[in-house]
């Protein structure tokens, strides 16, 4: 799969607020699917599973099975790759523009 295709999957996964909330929950510790269903009680189990599938396809969630339990772990590497490719380069450019603006205002 090309880098652009992987980025598209990550952006698609992050575009949904509920999926971002799930990632926030996993940031603190891995959770079973049942735990996530309890945390997101307004959603039925099928909906939680559908969101987890999108996150798993984007490799933002890694799954480890222990018996009947499915443990969901956050994988922040795809987010880091997005940051490195898209954000850090533009942030450096934005800082140079702000620095030049500050110099013009001071000078």
In a domain, 50, yes or no: yes
Tens digit of each residue's pLDDT (9 = 90 or more) over 28-73:
999 999 999 999 999 999 999 999 999 999 999 999 999 999 999 9
CATH number at residue 21: 1.10.10.10
Tens digit of each residue's pLDDT (9 = 90 or more) over 77-107:
999 998 888 787 777 777 778 788 888 888 7
In a domain, 99, yes or no: no
Range of the domain at 19: 3-75
In a domain, 66, yes or no: yes
In a domain, 55, yes or no: yes
Long-range contacts, 46-53 (Cβ 8 Å, 24+): 48/22, 51/16, 51/18, 51/19, 51/22, 52/22
In a domain, 100, yes or no: no
Q: What share of the chain is helix, strand, coil (3-state, %, to 5)?
A: 70, 15, 20
């Amino acid at each position: 799969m090309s880098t652009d295709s992987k980025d598209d999957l990550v952006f698609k996964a992050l575009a949904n607020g509920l999926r971002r909330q799930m990632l926030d929950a996993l940031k603190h510790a891995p959770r079973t699917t049942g735990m996530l269903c309890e945390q997101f009680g307004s959603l039925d189990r099928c909906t939680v599973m559908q969101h987890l599938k999108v996150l798993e396809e984007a490799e933002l969630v890694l799954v480890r099975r222990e018996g009947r339990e499915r443990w969901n772990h956050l994988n922040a590497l795809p987010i880091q790759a997005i940051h490195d490719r898209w954000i850090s380069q533009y942030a450096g450019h934005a800082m140079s523009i702000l620095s030049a603006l500050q110099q013009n205002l001071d000078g």
